[in-house]
């Protein structure tokens, strides 16, 4: 049923909880886990008078994404077959494109409990993926603690 599982990660603490679910699915279905982190190309802090320069932002995002992949892979069972990927772009768009282009059978990702203004301003990558994905999406609720 699930030969290829996409595990998008942002390197947050909740990634371990999601990896537990993915590890169980991978063991059950003898699936390959594709761990993907997206280096966000949207530099919200770039401006002429202050903020982060584009090249510094890009380098920082790539380093963060690479670390997120490695940290998440380390939480998966040793028996899991793993593919690693770091892509650049807008996170939900990259996740959706990767899932379709790579023939994923399911996407498993965490949801954060954002509400109110924070949700309105930042939005939810998971929500956008769920709404637009052509493949099934399994979401794992990540608590506030």
CB atoms within 10 A of CB 60: 13
The verdict on pTM exceeding 0.75 is: yes
User: Edge-to-edge strand order for the sheet containing 137-142?
Assistant: 81-89, 32-40, 4-8, 106-112, 137-142
Q: Where are the domains of the chain?
A: 4-142
d(CA 91, CA 93): 5
- DSSP, collapsed to helix, strand or coil, labels residue 94 as helix
Q: Domain 4-142 has what CATH class? A: alpha beta
| Helices assigned H by DSSP within 77-139 | 91-101, 116-122, 125-132
pLDDT in tens, 91-132: 999 999 999 999 999 999 988 755 554 444 445 888 899 999
Residue 121 pLDDT = 44
* Stretches in the chain below the pLDDT threshold 50: 117-122
Residue 81 pLDDT = 97
d(CA 63, CA 25): 28
Residue 15 pLDDT = 84
First to last CA, the chain: 33
């Amino acid at each position: 049923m699930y030969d290829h599982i996409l595990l998008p990660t942002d390197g947050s603490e909740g990634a371990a909880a999601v990896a537990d679910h993915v590890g169980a699915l991978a063991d059950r279905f003898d699936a390959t886990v594709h761990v993907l982190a997206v280096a966000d190309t949207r530099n919200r802090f770039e401006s002429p008078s202050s903020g982060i320069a584009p090249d510094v932002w890009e380098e920082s995002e790539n380093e963060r994404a690479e670390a997120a992949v490695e940290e998440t892979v380390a939480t998966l069972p040793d028996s899991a077959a793993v593919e690693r990927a770091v892509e650049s772009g807008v996170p939900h768009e990259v996740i959706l494109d990767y899932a379709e282009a790579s023939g994923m059978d399911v996407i498993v990702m965490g949801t954060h409990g954002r509400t109110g203004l924070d949700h309105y301003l930042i939005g939810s990558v998971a929500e956008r993926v769920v709404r637009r994905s052509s493949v099934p999406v399994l979401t794992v609720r990540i608590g506030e603690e």
